[in-house]
Amino acid sequence: MKKVFIVGGAGKVGRRLAQQLVTNGHEPRSLYRHAEQADELKALGATPVAGSLLDLDVPGLAGLMADSDVVVFSAGAGGKGGPEMTNAIDGQGLEKAVAASQLAGISRFLLVSAFPEASRGADISETFENYMAVKKRADVHLAETDLDWVILRPGTLLDSPGTGKVRTGLAIPYGDVPRDDVATTLMQIIERPAISRVIIELTQGDTPIDESIQQFVRN
């Protein structure tokens, strides 16, 4: 059993991951900001942990993470609050979570990032350009640490039911992927500690998730 601390635990991917973890015998600890989210997280089988990346300092966040085996960072401003909120959550929030993980002695760290080609060729806003730049800087920040990290870059996220089949690779064509399948992929990575220090791109596909993700296991 793994004790998994989910930063962004009340988000769409975070909630789905908690369900997957509980189903597979693990213990999700889900960080949430708003009081009304606690009961929903409990109903999923997660342990709700109250706290906000905007308010917590590194020691405070490390204290909440204590005794966890894995940290999963799936938090994001979701385009709300403009560039300032993206910078605070997706950028500085990630840096804070990395520092807290190091302080708490938790080496395993998974980051849900963004596909580099997201919305390319479309008429996108300065806010979205900032979002992509922040996501890339977050990837770089984590990859330069000595943590046991994995960066997962899903394509456009869908709320449609998962299929249990995906395409993964170091570099693959851009596409969509259900959030259910992102959560399952994260759970599969958590259960495979030999998948380490690699950036994985993810879209929907034709290969069962466990088979697709097995290619990244280091012997």
Q: Tokens 């204290």, residue? A: 63
The catalytically annotated residue of 5, 32, 109, 131 is: 131
Spatial neighbors of 178 by CB under 8 A, at least 6 apart, are 157, 158, 159, 160, 161, 162, 163, 204
32 among known catalytic residues: no
Return d(Cα 36, Cα 7) in angstroms, integer. Answer: 17
Return d(Cα 145, Cα 137) in angstroms, integer. Answer: 13
Please spell the DSSP secondary structure of 176-189, one letter per residue.
Answer: EEEHHHHHHHHHHH
Return d(Cα 85, Cα 218) in angstroms, integer. Answer: 37
Nearest partner of 120 among 180, 173, 58, judged by Cα? 173
Nearest partner of 9 among 32, 42, 37, judged by Cα? 32
Number of residues that this document lists for the chain = 219
Query: Could you tell me the maximum CA-CA distance found in the chain, to the nearest angstrom?
Result: 45
Strand partners, 153: 201
Nearest partner of 20 among 203, 168, 189, judged by Cα? 189
Catalytic residues: 131
